[in-house]
Amino acid sequence: MLLGTLTVIFLAVGWLVGGVVGMGIALILAVFINFLTYWYSDRIVLKMYRAKPLDNMNVSKLVKLLSKEASIPVPKVYLVDSKTPNAFATGRDPRHSAVAVTKGLLDLPFDELKAVLAHEIAHIRNRDVLVATMAASLGAAISYLAQIGYWMIFMGGERKGEGSIIGLVLIVIFAPLAAVLIRMAVSRSCEYRADWVGSLMTKQPKALASALRSISDSARHHPLKHGSSATAHMWIVNPFHRDWFTKLFATHPPIEKRIERLEGMVIKRGKK
């Protein structure tokens, strides 16, 4: 439903920018973007962060163990060259998935590293990754069309054909906002669920709470320098610089709220 809403907004923006022709072009672009992100989302994101295959026996064993617990195929593991601890999952389905971790994440205590990996495995198990990636791609495309509308208003004078300057102003204001709000709705529900499922797998919700606290503090002082903010919701914690404006459109639930929920979880351990 959310992806459908994004597509409708995308077509509406195309109509306001170029009338029937603009809507037709927007439809073609929407189909192309959906196709591209479905089949190549993992490659696109991994290449964006220059991720390379990770050769680490301990991490590989953890991923294999957690994948077995989640009853999914073992995803490939990649390394992102960043000292700030963080991780994300990508791919179109459990059989075509990958988990990327930063160098900084490998320095976390073992139980926290395991908890973060379980969170990402949970995303794959819950099939959150494809929806998040496609929502990000469509949201970025809508924002791009809004920029075209901006230049048409302030640089190109009044537009001929259907629509009006008011319509184009609505594009500049409403389209990016709608895209961000929908992407935020996707991400927040997915993050809470992945926190829960990942903690059930490890039976250590407090370890994930501790990891989230460490990752958030590190990201605040050492934000990621490269990459796209359109992918911020894919990381376990927003890795980019945060100010009052970016907080207004935060794609993750508040860290304090996630930690509070995790610390309030009570998991009964089975008797051996």
pLDDT one-digit tens code per residue, 250-259: 678 899 999 9
Q: Annotated active-site positions, please?
A: 120
User: Both tokens of residue 261?
Assistant: 């929920």
How high does pLDDT run on average in the chain?
83
Average pLDDT over residues 50-73: 96
Confidence of residue 175 (pLDDT cuts 50, 70, 90): low
Confidence of residue 221 (pLDDT cuts 50, 70, 90): very high
Chain-centroid distance, C-alpha 203: 25
Distances (CA, A) of 59 to 32, 179, 266: 36, 35, 27
pLDDT over 70, % of the chain? 77
Q: How high is the pLDDT of residue 161?
A: 45
CB 108 within 8 A of CB 116: yes
- Spatial separation of the C-alpha atoms in residues 9 and 176, rounded to whole Å: 10
CB 19 within 8 A of CB 163: yes
Confidence of residue 229 (pLDDT cuts 50, 70, 90): confident
Rounded-to-10 torsion of CA 69, 70, 72, 77: -80
- Spatial separation of the C-alpha atoms in residues 257 and 142, rounded to whole Å: 30
Spell 22-55 as b/e; 16+ CB within 10 A means b. bbebbeebbeebbeebeeebbeebbeebebeebe
HSE at residue 63, side-chain half, CA atoms within 13 A, is 22
- Spatial separation of the C-alpha atoms in residues 132 and 3, rounded to whole Å: 9
- Spatial separation of the C-alpha atoms in residues 234 and 230, rounded to whole Å: 9
Q: How high is the pLDDT of residue 33?
A: 76
- 191 SS3 class: helix
Beta bridge partners of 76: 98
pTM of structure: 0.81
Q: Where are the beta strands (DSSP E) in 81-208?
A: 87-93, 96-102
Average pLDDT over residues 51-58: 95
Handedness of CA 38, 48, 191, 107 (dihedral sign): positive
